[in-house]
Structure 1
């Protein structure tokens, strides 16, 4: 199995080192194409108005001066076009990608692009409660076994997997559960208005949503309970249940 590694925290991020160890437990054929610098919150943005530059670190490893989506596109359509990967692993993200995070996340975006291009893709994130205590070992030790089980299944078309590891030591993990995408309380967005030295206004966004009250079966609930959350995500966003009623209204 040929595995492509990418992320949104950057080529040299601690989570990439963890991802390498996870991949090495699954295969000895690993390629890396990751952003040259952090791209958190980039979602599925593309670099269309600036050149994309490649930095080659070896025959199988590159960093890209662009977004996570750029990285996957360059890997599959240019760098390794003649020998594409069988699996894409994106992460391990420094912090969870839960609830509405999946719409903003560059980690999930890289897995989405891989899925769109026909390669099974998995986003992996290590949740954090204390920045001074990150349980990277939890993702490193548990991810290979979970990935192996997922790869034995038929996901269907247009589906990726989003895995979040709780902020606890491996011994304290309560289990692994299948979850749906949850929803946070988004009322805590802070817009900090400031003025620069030339008298021009500028702003900092402080995005710190609270968990709210997640329901049983949500990804947010699972990691709060010390469980690994596995959420299958579909690329097709059509609200199918509404189509008939809308069609009747427009007839």
Structure 2
């Protein structure tokens, strides 16, 4: 697979979604970021640090043109999108974006919205303010979200993480899950990731894939997350037909 950036794999930790140090210094949560970035270089530096790409080009994945194959969803993209930041549909809706290329005149404001969300705040642009949606709570350190695995062995519905953690500059997303101590049996987990698709070396788009996280009282793994901004998602099923289980995931 051809990658657009030099990506570094790192060891499994409870949560990795980019390093926030530059953002903390540049954009305080719940405050407008419009006057925080002293110049374009500062904004681009923060974007590269947190998402792997600058604010120069952004494309929103389009569900209308997507192709579903099993648990995979392929989002076609034009060739010029190869080095862009890909924004998942659910996150795009949260900040008032429509599918397709983000107009160049708006990319800086979108970048500030993404960085504000990632730093634990709310998007500040006039465009995002018109998207009347409930924002996830800000992440404070490791973010664990509860889940329930129903009796019968079927997969649960997909759940989003309950805090605003988006993007990943290192091209990997780490998932972990664990059952609470009162739960019997075991569970199997799955999480999503994003990879670029190439055919004969030519960029075609981005694919959302499902990855197994193992089964038992605990589980987890690193999955690909290439130059994309979106919410991690998790689902589970009981490892034993007669038991429903409760747990948390991050």
Which structure shows the bigger proportion of residues in strand conformation?
A: 2
By relative contact order (CA 8 Å, sep 6+), the higher-ranking structure is: 2
Bigger radius of gyration, 1 or 2? 1
TM-score range, shorter chain: under 0.3
More helix per residue:
1
Length-normalised TM-score, structure 2: 0.25
| TM-score normalised per structure 1 | 0.25
